Structure 1
Amino acid sequence: MYKVAWLARLPRGMGQEEARRHWRDVHGPLCLKVPGLERYVQNQVLAPIGTEGVTEGTTGFDGYSCGWWADYGSYADAMRTPQWQELVADGANVFDMDWLWGMSAELDEVVLKEPPANWAGTDQGRFKVVWIVKFRADLDGAKAHDYWTNQHGPLACRIREIGETGAYVQNHAVRAIGADSLPTDEVELGFDGFAECWFEDRAAFEAAMRSLEWRDLVEDGGNLFDMEFLWLGMSAALEERIMR
């Protein structure tokens, strides 16, 4: 599957609830009309995540959407359709379009923990969090992506509420999406990827953050990530809307 993410910030002069409704009820259905789109998920920020868990305050983004196509060719074909152009035109009605530059990317999705089978048809797994990450400036990008998958990721899976009773996906940014909606090396990415975790419920998330394994994970984060970027507004609890 070919996966793309669009990080979003809502216009500051627009009411937040009005913008969220438009995203869900107007922009979302327009996206569903785009040919070839096989999966589509909206994620709207509920609250920031700090070092001690869910907290109050603001985030540097208001959510993100992910779309999946069968392959790159299907995606590229979709970008040339009237349905996609209609969706792009609507973007200015709900998003801060200047902020979006460099904040959309094609992704390499790495599933480190599938959702437990017993979640199917239940409300379990509805508590979702995301950490949008940038690598340390002194690290080689390819080596950083490898470390994230093969060193940092397994540390996260040692946390019971993730590795046994939760779900965990890494999304590695490959290239930015340019003005023509196609991936390009000419636009500098504003992030290197994001990690998504699903927990049985908020209590499970809070238990995870109290664990020794979580402390090990956070300590290791300093080997890889720009921690100031991570904790200052780029981590959040989410409302996940599975549109398709």
Structure 2
Amino acid sequence: MIYRSGVFSRKEGLDGETFRQHWTQVHGSLASRMPGLHSYWQNHIIERLYEREGRSHHAIDGISQLAFDDVAAMERAEISPEYAACKLDIPKFQGAITILVLEREEIVPPPALSTPQRKHKLVWVSEARADFRGEALRERWMANAATSLEAVPSPTGFVQNFVTDRSHPVQAGVPSGDIPVEAISELWLSDAAALKSFAESAAGCMFIHRDPLLKPIGIYLVEEVSVR
């Protein structure tokens, strides 16, 4: 299973609530019809807990996650009429967009969809800190994952998503982004307050900001919306 992830900004001049409504009610319905799609998650930013100063890339206002069997299945969906309808809709609410292909490593399986812990999560987008990229980065990070997770108090879910492909830009009349992402991390705790408290704690700083292989670009408290 792979995940096609869009990391994108809001269309200039569009307020946050209009952006949210269009993404969930209009674009979500269009994207959910893509052939071969197993699931579609939208990550709506509730609060920006950290963003690196002096960034040269576009803003991050939303992160999508669409699951396909593999890259070939994703590419078949990209030439479908359903995807063509999505591309026509993109300029109505999105600004620049960086498209990434991700592979997931479930360190701690996420909470069940029916539980209140699933509604909110902490998401951080990171670039590589050293010269390791791709599979070399993944192997080195996974070798120490269990030990690193000891810093997190009672995680109810933790997933590390590694970038495996960035060669599928959207041709939809919006700028193609180039955020240097190597991993997208997802953490679930008991509730939104616990997530924010951890991110701002000394333990959270050690876990996120002092990762020897990954350097955070942005850290966000998000609401996770299941579209399909």
Q: Report the TM-score, using the length of structure 2 for normalisation.
A: 0.83
In structure 2, the partner of 1:67 is 66
Provide closer, same or farther for how the CA distance between residues 148 and 82 of structure 1 changes in structure 2, counting only shifts above 3 A: same
In structure 2, the partner of 1:184 is none
Q: Determine the C-alpha separation between the residues in 1 that align with 2:193 and 2:46.
A: 16
- Contact 1:126–1:199 under 8 Å retained in 2: no
Pairing partner for 1:240 from 214, 224, 228: 224
Q: Determine the C-alpha separation between the residues in 2 that align with 1:218 and 1:84.
A: 35
SS of equivalent to 1:115: coil
Q: Determine the C-alpha separation between the residues in 2 that align with 1:157 and 1:91.
A: 41
Q: Determine the C-alpha separation between the residues in 1 that align with 2:153 and 2:94.
A: 37
Structure 2 counterparts to residues 218-233 of structure 1, below 5 A: 218=208, 220-221=210-211, 223-227=212-216, 230=217
In structure 1, stretches of 5+ residues that fail to align are 52-58, 182-186
Task: Report the Cα offset of residue 35 of structure 1.
Answer: 1.1
User: 2:26 aligned with 1:26, yes or no?
Assistant: yes
Provide closer, same or farther for how the CA distance between residues 120 and 12 of structure 1 changes in structure 2, counting only shifts above 3 A: closer
In structure 2, the partner of 1:55 is none
SS of equivalent to 1:226: strand
Q: Determine the C-alpha separation between the residues in 1 that align with 2:132 and 2:116.
A: 41
SS of equivalent to 1:132: strand
Q: What is the total number of aligned residue pairs between the two structures?
A: 216
Q: Which amino acid aligns with 1:169?
A: V
SS of equivalent to 2:106: strand
Provide closer, same or farther for how the CA distance between residues 140 and 24 of structure 1 changes in structure 2, counting only shifts above 3 A: same
Segment drifting more, 68-77 vs 28-37: 68-77
- Over aligned residue pairs, what C-alpha RMSD do you find? 2.6
- Contact 1:170–1:194 under 8 Å retained in 2: yes
Pairing partner for 1:197 from 187, 201, 210: 187
Provide closer, same or farther for how the CA distance between residues 206 and 161 of structure 1 changes in structure 2, counting only shifts above 3 A: farther
SS of equivalent to 2:165: strand
Q: Which amino acid aligns with 2:225?
A: R
In structure 2, stretches of 5+ residues that fail to align are 52-57, 172-176
Task: Report the Cα offset of residue 48 of structure 1.
Answer: 0.9
- Contact 2:108–2:158 under 8 Å retained in 1: yes
Q: Which amino acid aligns with 1:193?
A: A
Task: Report the Cα offset of residue 146 of structure 1.
Answer: 2.5
In structure 2, the partner of 1:139 is 131
- Contact 2:3–2:103 under 8 Å retained in 1: yes
Provide closer, same or farther for how the CA distance between residues 115 and 180 of structure 1 changes in structure 2, counting only shifts above 3 A: closer
Q: Determine the C-alpha separation between the residues in 2 that align with 1:24 and 1:211.
A: 32
Q: Determine the C-alpha separation between the residues in 1 that align with 2:196 and 2:169.
A: 40
Q: Deviations over 1:176-201 (max 9, x none)?
A: 143467xxxxx966211210111111
Q: Which amino acid aligns with 2:124?
A: W
- Contact 2:99–2:170 under 8 Å retained in 1: no
- Contact 2:35–2:77 under 8 Å retained in 1: yes
User: 2:112 aligned with 1:122, yes or no?
Assistant: no
User: 2:166 aligned with 1:176, yes or no?
Assistant: yes
Task: Report the Cα offset of residue 210 of structure 1.
Answer: 7.0
Q: Report the TM-score, using the length of structure 1 for normalisation.
A: 0.78
SS of equivalent to 2:140: helix
Q: Which amino acid aligns with 2:37?
A: L
Q: Deviations over 1:221-244 (max 9, x none)?
A: 2x22335xx3xxx11000110111
Q: Determine the C-alpha separation between the residues in 2 that align with 1:50 and 1:4.
A: 24
Q: Deviations over 1:85-117 (max 9, x none)?
A: 110111111111xx21xx21111111100135x
Segment drifting more, 83-92 vs 123-132: 123-132
Task: Kindly report structure 1 stretches of 4+ aligned residues shifted beyond 6 Å.
Answer: none
Q: Determine the C-alpha separation between the residues in 2 that align with 1:202 and 1:179.
A: 33
